Amino acid sequence: MNILYLNHYAGSPALGMEYRPYYLAREWVRAGHRVQMVAASWSHVRTRQPAAGEEVIDGIDYRWVATPPYRGNGPRRARNVASFLGQVWRDAPRLVRAVRPDVVIASSTYPFDIWVAQRLARLAGAKLVYEVHDLWPLSPMELFGMPRWHPFILLCQAAEDRAYRDADRVVSMLPCVHAYMASRGLDLARLSIVPNGIALDEWEREPAALASPVQQALQAARAKGVVVGYAGSMGVPNALDTLLDSAARLRDAPIRFVLVGDGHERERLARRLQDEGLVNVRMLPAIPKAQVPAFLAAIDIAYIGWQRVPLYRFGIAPNKLMDYMMARRPVLHSVEAGNDPVAEAGCGLTVPPEDAAAVAAGLQRLAALPEAERRAMGERGRAFVLARHTYPVLARRFLEALA
């Protein structure tokens, strides 16, 4: 089968996020299918930008569409999106002749790609699949308060409604979307849930060694007590202010915090450490993905937090939680959502979101457990991921959804 996978932000382990398209495509290639990835040459989530043109990565054919650089969410990002979609639209006949796709996937980190994907599918006589990462336009409405009548929201709604009406299949990473999608006109017989996951080979090989500053920070934290770790993005949705508020409450406790990552909020959070004298917290730059297993192996408890927003009633599918569970770390999960993998797996504690007192109490409770009990939690988390969230399993489920 020939698969054309349209994802603006698609990356690879060498380039950086986003990883899901790469891992799914790699499994499909291993199963004997051909995958053409179409992505923009510039993305804010990648650590390295590829050159425009064509490239083969682990058997996956990548086409990098030349797009202008940008920072933040202003007009330059809109220009980047418009440039990408416009070029793929114009190049659709030639792309279809070259790839001859049986399936076209609109992997929608934003919903506007459905129109381009639909054009590609019609030209090819191929199945059209709409892969949902986030719910648009609900995300900007509920997270940022954008009004329903805003032109951007109206455009998003038109794109979403078109996708639910015309796609042959809809694949959602979020598990609790059935009622919402049905309310927007989707026949639920066309819906499948395929969450995020992990690549087994990255956990079976020897982890890459940590850089010296990270090793030293972890050793210093270990000398003071139980180590709470965080590895991932540092943005508003990650609720790291709540973690720092809990660290302030635990100044005198034998608990230390080590955070690695990057994002829009990192500088402001670092200033908080200085201004408030939070000497029990170390904040370090992002580490390469290959070093994440070594970092997680060196901590005692892993933290993941969320904002308290109604949007999470549709469920969550965080990549870093899968990493935490594969690393056999007990997890302190600060969330209120439609699903809770930590509770399902029995691999940690769940406390309310944006509640520093609850986070501090939860960390103290986990820290007080015998090491054997924390280890058992970690083993349950790993078993949960191996059964449900490895990319060989998820790639097979995705293709079964197309049958």
Last residue of a domain, one of 175, 193, 211: 193
Give the per-residue SS3 of 52-70. CEEEEECCEEEEEECCCCC
Residue 394 lies in a domain: no
Residues 228 and 362 occupy one common structural domain: yes
pLDDT at position 221, please?
98
pTM of the entire predicted model? 0.89
What is the domain-level CATH number for residue 64? Answer: 3.40.50.2000
pLDDT at position 72, please?
76
Enclosing H/E stretch for 6 = strand 2-6
Between 37-41, 54-58, 92-96, 316-320, the lowest mean confidence (pLDDT) is in: 316-320
pLDDT reading at 317 higher than 90: no
| 138-152 confidence digits (pLDDT tens) | 989 988 889 999 999
CB 107 within 8 A of CB 131: yes
pLDDT at position 107, please?
96
Residue 403 lies in a domain: no
Secondary structure of residue 131 in the 3-state scheme: strand
Domain count across the chain: 2
| 209-242 confidence digits (pLDDT tens) | 999 999 999 999 999 999 999 999 999 989 999 9
Burial of 361 (0-12, 13-18, 19+ CB in 10 A): middle
Nearest-5° Cα angle at 314, 130 to 114: 20
Q: In the structure, what pLDDT confidence band is assigned to residue 17 with cuts at 50, 70 and 90?
A: confident
Residues 181 and 264 occupy one common structural domain: no
Domain that holds residue 135: 2-193
Establish whether the linkage from the previous residue to 137 is cis, with ω within 30° of 0.
Answer: yes
Q: In the structure, what pLDDT confidence band is assigned to residue 71 with cuts at 50, 70 and 90?
A: confident
Residue 400 lies in a domain: no
pLDDT at position 400, please?
95
Residues 126 and 249 occupy one common structural domain: no
Q: How far apart are CA 365 and CA 354, in angstroms?
A: 18
Look over the chain and give the mean of its residue pLDDT values, rounded to a whole number: 95
Q: How far apart are CA 398 and CA 20, in angstroms?
A: 12
Q: How far apart are CA 49 and CA 70, in angstroms?
A: 12
pLDDT at position 163, please?
97
Partners of 61 in the β-ladder: 36, 56
